[in-house]
Amino acid sequence: MTRPVRVLQFITPAGFYGAERWILALANNLDHQSVVCDLAVTRESESQDLTLAEVYPRQVGDVHYLDMQGRFDVGVVRKLCDIIRSRDIDIIHTHGYKSDILGLLAARRTGIRCLSTPHGFSGKTGWKLATFIRIGTHMLRYFDAVAPLSEELVADMARFRVPASRTQLIRNGVDLTEIDPVAADQPAASSPTIGFIGQMIPRKGLPDLLEVFDRLYSGDSSLQLHLLGDGRQREELERQAKAQPSGDAVSFLGFRSDRLERLAGFRLFVMTSSLEGIPRCLMEAMAMGVPVVAYDIPGVDQLVEHEVTGLLAPHGDKDALEKLCRRVLTDESLARQLAANARQLIVDRYSAARMAREYESLFDALVSGDYGLSSSQGRAG
């Protein structure tokens, strides 16, 4: 029997959001006979959300906690090297600028292959964070392979001078094995709830969502807005909501273990981001059969075709966003058709099972030294 490829997923968790759930989706859909997939997470504070490590399936691989002194600790490289050697790891697979920097250093010290999956990049940041992000993106050109999640991120790789021969597009995928059982158990949404799931950070554009909801609420006081997630902008958003007439109808629910059950109860999912890769929360809403309205930005436009799989408003056009939300909320036939089309798109093109098969091929190519990356469909350039 051929020895399975041994991969170490490495991330510095910021919560249980897109990148963290992506790792879980990949682990759940890999062929466990051909790939052993360990997980390493940094432990940076007592309040850090390490849900990913807690729910990671142990039949896939071991979980390793790496204590980190401060926000960035090069001492983690030695700890990674110890894991790589003790677990006979073939490939370290990194996610995010900190893991890219530390993971590449560990790979070079131990002589193994290194792969990065960029999940998107922050917009406006402080100078210190921006400096680390620049270092991280610079490091990508030295990886054995980089697998962006979207065409937009492939273009970013070219801008960062990552060689096209080592760039392979593997589109994001949503874990239907996690979503379908929840969808089957949930009754159709009865309460008119608009929802959002994700980080509460500036690039998510949530002040626009709050303002648009307030306008919708003025015409229908039965509406509710549920915001799931957390982040540095939460207090500011809570103050904005409280100052609006619709304040009592807005619920900040934080991180929820019943995230999917809450999602299944949404009448409408709204995304007001200014910058995304291919957003996992949007894919999950579409897979769940919840109609979606969003700002038309790169990444989102890979999922939402206007009037087919959802409705798109020009970025920043709150008047247009309001009108589109109102259409979905008041036209049940339109809402059903958009939801059905969106679900079919996810099944056909954006499932985690399809994504996992493509990663298995990439893992094999890296271990064998075949950098041709056999799927021409996925090649950049």
pLDDT at 309 over 80: yes
Chain position carrying tokens 């909801």: 213
Q: What does the DSSP assignment read for 268-289?
A: EEEE--S--SS-HHHHHHHHHT
pTM over 0.95: no
Domains of the chain: 5-173+351-378 (3.40.50.2000), 176-349 (3.40.50.2000)
The answer to whether residue 133 scores a pLDDT higher than 80 is no
What pLDDT, on a 0 to 100 scale, did the predictor assign at position 378?
42
352-364 mean pLDDT: 95
Separation of alpha carbons 138 and 157, rounded Å: 10
The confidence band for 189, taking pLDDT boundaries of 50, 70 and 90, is: low
Spatial separation of the C-alpha atoms in residues 311 and 291, rounded to whole Å: 9
Residue 141, pLDDT > 60, answer yes
Q: What pLDDT score does 130 carry?
A: 67
Residue 253 reports pLDDT greater than 70: yes
Between 2 and 173, name the one with better pLDDT.
173
Residues 6+ apart with CB under 8 A from 150: 169, 171, 172, 277, 278, 298, 299, 302
Half-sphere exposure of 319 (CA within 13 A, CB side): 0
Does 127 score more than 80 pLDDT? no
Q: Which amino acid is at 171?
A: R
When comparing pLDDT for 369 and 377, which is higher? 369
pLDDT, mean of residues 290-299:
95
Question: What is the spatial distance between Cα 193 and Cα 202, in angstroms, rounded to a whole number?
Answer: 23
What pLDDT score was predicted for residue 132? 62
Q: Is the pLDDT of residue 206 over 70?
A: yes
> Does pLDDT of 374 surpass 70?
no
Element (H, E) at 195: strand 193-197
Average pLDDT along the chain: 91
Mean pLDDT of the 61-70 span? 93
Residue 188: pLDDT band (50, 70, 90) is: low
Would you say residue 82 has pLDDT above 50?
yes
Q: Stretch 217-230: mean pLDDT, rounded?
A: 96
Confidence of residue 192 (pLDDT cuts 50, 70, 90): very high
